[in-house]
Amino acid sequence: MPRPFWLQAAADDFWRAAGEVEPFPRTLEAPVLWALPLFIVKVPRLTLSDVRAKLADYGIAFGVDGPNRNLYGCLIAFAGKGVVMLDGSEPPDELRFSLAHEVGHFIIDYMQPRNRILRRLGPAIVDVLDGLRAPNKEERIDAVLSDVRIGVHTHLMDRTPSGAIGCGRISGSEFRADRLAFELLAPEDAVLAEANASGFASTANDDAAAMRAVLVEVFGLPVASARQYAHFLNTVGERRPSIRSWLGMDSDADDAGTTSRSNVSNFPAHARKRLT
């Protein structure tokens, strides 16, 4: 099944900006630095206190309240640029997925809406987007319609069970970030080609295990992520997706009561809980 337009376009734009497609297994670190205004920081056993301390060193006020806790990673974006902080003690497979997921949020939730409203309203809106002045009535309406975050944009990958996704907008955001993360690390076409070359067929239960092995051994995905992505690739072609799913508006949480396993909207979010 062809990939959704938003997904293909985002991946193509990323690699075009990077200037070179990284071989597998990908770390994404060098391409991210070439393609995006993102700075990557690794801190062993990352906590929320570490995030606040590091950003204070950079002269950035980080206003997220709550108790100190362990994090897989986080994204802080402001003024068209961002910082991704990762738990540097994680193994390479977890690091690459954490980075890819935060890159997905930066592109889909921050840069794309920001660029849309800049094209619509021009450079005069920059101070509004960065929280430096209040929008007027017309600008406020446009910002709402464009779903733009005003001021500092933050996303936390929380390690605790309390990080459950709480609403459709957040779960849809997580779905799209995971979808782009998988496409950057293990593009669907490349995965299916590798699996077919390894004798994979798309029907038997054993083939799901074979595809998981390909995702882990060739593309370097964490085992839990590989299990989810293999399930998605095994089932997504069985039924046409809904229009909402094709546009990336649905997530697994939106269809929690359905029995179908093949709709793209049932693509499972990554096993690790997150707070946005």
161 phi, psi to nearest 5 deg: -60, -20
Same domain, 197 and 154: no
Which parts of the chain sit beneath pLDDT 70? 1-2, 61-65, 139-147, 158-171, 199-207, 236-276
Q: CB 186: neighbour CB atoms within 10 A?
A: 25
Burial class from Cβ neighbours inside 10 Å (0-12, 13-18, 19+) for residue 99 reads buried
Q: How far is CA 120 from CA 124, 137, 183, in A?
A: 11, 15, 29
Q: What is the pLDDT of residue 147?
A: 67
Q: In this prediction, what percent of the chain has a pLDDT beyond 70?
A: 71
Into how many domains does the chain fold? 2
Same domain, 12 and 45: yes
Among residues 114, 137, 166, which one ends one of the domains?
A: 166
**Whether the predicted model's global pTM rises above the 0.95 cut:** no
pLDDT tens per residue, range 53-79? 888 887 776 666 678 888 888 999 888
Same domain, 106 and 219: no
Q: What is the pLDDT of residue 208?
A: 77
Residue ranges making up the domain that contains 55: 5-166
Q: Which helix (H) or strand (E) holds 36?
A: none
Q: Which residues pair with 212 in a beta bridge?
A: none
Same domain, 261 and 151: no
Same domain, 95 and 69: yes
Among residues 135, 166, 197, which one ends one of the domains?
A: 166
Among residues 133, 166, 199, which one ends one of the domains?
A: 166
Q: What is the pLDDT of residue 58?
A: 78
Asked whether residue 53 is assigned to any structural domain, the reply reads yes
Give the amino acid at 264.
V
Q: How far is CA 74 from CA 87, 135, 153, in A?
A: 9, 28, 11
